[in-house]
């Protein structure tokens, strides 16, 4: 049987550089942030390595912001098509989360490189921009999906969660800035804004998750290329647990009692059951990925789904370990960090190889002459 050759593009082409590429920034930044949260200070040189990884995420963010600006300037037709494509538009949530992840990493480890004052300023700018973009995406993307092309329930994938999770990332990284604000109204306002963002994202996620789960049960396994996106469900679970832990860290003295110490109870009473569900979902997603791998799943940009969501589970488990004092949470956090580093390394190697070969930035190829198994390719080329 004769099939069409896979499309190849120049590594410098930006026509098909979709918003999904911001996942590389998110996945890189979370390695630094998650590592800094663990009790591994005794490991020599680790802090410097984490600072270097954060620096790489900052460089990636700047490069992608420039490249995506060129994409909109030179290929506005493709950019508009991506925005109206229900398979691609949700990835605009990745832009917000990339800004927030790099900003949060600035205070976690970046201050070792650029200094505390610059780290606070950078985090403040990126937190503000990321939160604004995240809120816009959380409203605009579902709206465009509702009034644009008709979307069937069978098309639901975990990718739909991306714009809804972005405000949860704001809720998790925002409390880091609370101690740097003037005492009183300013600190209290920021903390409660983060709590509101937590509620916004949590309730929106609870509306979307049943669609994703129902699609999985009634529609069968996801196409091979999309199977790694099942790990995206871990994002809101781990990030929300991280968020309530961060609230508990800064609340005493910021909000009046009994609310200040009430956040300690929230961190445990919310985090424990949610991380239990995260364990269940990680097993389910892992089995699906194992099945897809046996059926020929090849590297695609969706493999970055193995990084950021797992990183949020690392920080969530670490937060529970900190607030419960249990090794049962602190220990698995270290193990999960090892999984995160391995997943990140695999994604980096696959991405670099795909860029060198010109495959990842290529547009959709011509239809093959003979039938072939479905690989879930979007019309815009967002998932390859």
Question: What does the CA dihedral 103, 105, 111, 114 come to, rounded to 10 degrees?
Answer: -60
Tens-digit pLDDT profile for residues 277-303:
999 999 999 999 999 999 999 999 999
Phi then psi for 252, rounded to 5 degrees? -55, 125
- Of the candidates 95, 27, 38, the one whose C-alpha atom is nearest the C-alpha of residue 347 is 27
Cβ atoms of 352 and 344 within 8 Å: the answer is no
- Strand ranges in the chain using DSSP code E only, listed in sequence order: none
Rounded mean pLDDT of 148-158?
A: 80
Q: Which residues contact 327 (CB under 8 A, 6 or more apart)?
A: 321
pLDDT tens-digit profile of 24-50? 999 999 999 999 988 776 677 888 999
| Residue among 379, 384, 381, 383 nearest 148 (CA) | 379
What number of residues does the chain have?
384
> What's residue 139's pLDDT?
95
φ/ψ (deg, to 5) at 52: -65, -40
Stretch 176-205: mean pLDDT = 95
Task: Kindly state the average pLDDT of the residues 329-344.
Answer: 93
Q: What is the pTM of this model?
A: 0.89
Q: How far is CA 189 from CA 139, 175, 183, in A?
A: 23, 11, 10
CA atoms of 356 and 360, how far apart (whole Å): 9
Q: What is the pLDDT of residue 321?
A: 92
């Amino acid at each position: 049987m004769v099939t069409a050759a896979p499309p190849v593009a120049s590594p410098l082409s930006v026509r098909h550089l979709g918003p999904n590429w911001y996942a590389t920034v998110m996945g890189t930044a979370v390695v630094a942030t998650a590592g800094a949260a663990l009790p591994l200070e005794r490991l020599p040189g680790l802090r410097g390595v984490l600072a270097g990884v954060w620096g790489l995420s900052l460089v990636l963010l700047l490069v992608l912001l420039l490249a995506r600006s060129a994409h909109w300037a030179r290929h506005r037709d493709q950019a508009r098509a991506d925005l109206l494509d229900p398979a691609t538009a949700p990835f605009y949530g990745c832009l917000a989360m990339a800004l927030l992840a790099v900003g949060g990493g600035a205070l976690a480890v970046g201050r070792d490189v650029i200094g505390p004052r610059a780290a606070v300023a950078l985090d403040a700018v990126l937190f503000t921009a990321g939160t604004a973009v995240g809120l816009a995406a959380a409203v605009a993307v579902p709206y465009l999906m509702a009034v644009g092309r008709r979307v069937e329930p069978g098309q639901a994938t975990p990718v739909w969660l991306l714009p809804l999770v972005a405000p949860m990332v704001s809720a998790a990284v925002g409390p880091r800035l609370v101690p740097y604000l003037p005492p009183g109204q300013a600190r209290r306002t920021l903390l409660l804004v983060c709590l509101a963002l937590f509620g916004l994202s949590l309730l929106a996620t609870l509306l979307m998750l049943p669609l994703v789960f129902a699609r999985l049960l009634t529609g069968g396994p996801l196409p091979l290329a999309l199977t790694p996106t099942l790990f995206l469900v871990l994002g809101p679970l781990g990030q929300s647990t991280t968020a309530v832990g961060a609230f508990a860290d800064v609340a005493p003295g910021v909000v009046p009692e009994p609310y200040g110490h009430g956040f300690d109870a929230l961190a445990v009473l919310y985090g424990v059951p949610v991380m239990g569900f995260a364990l269940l979902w990680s097993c389910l997603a892992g089995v699906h990925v194992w099945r897809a791998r046996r059926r020929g799943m090849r590297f695609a940009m969706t493999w970055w789904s193995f990084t950021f969501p797992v990183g949020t589970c690392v920080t969530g488990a670490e937060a529970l370990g900190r607030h419960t004092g249990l090794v049962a949470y602190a220990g698995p956090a270290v193990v999960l960090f090892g999984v995160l580093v391995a997943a990140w390394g695999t994604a980096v190697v696959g991405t670099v190889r795909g860029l060198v070969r010109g495959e990842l930035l290529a547009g959709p190829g011509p239809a093959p002459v003979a039938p072939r198994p479905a690989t879930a390719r979007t019309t815009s080329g967002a998932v390859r």
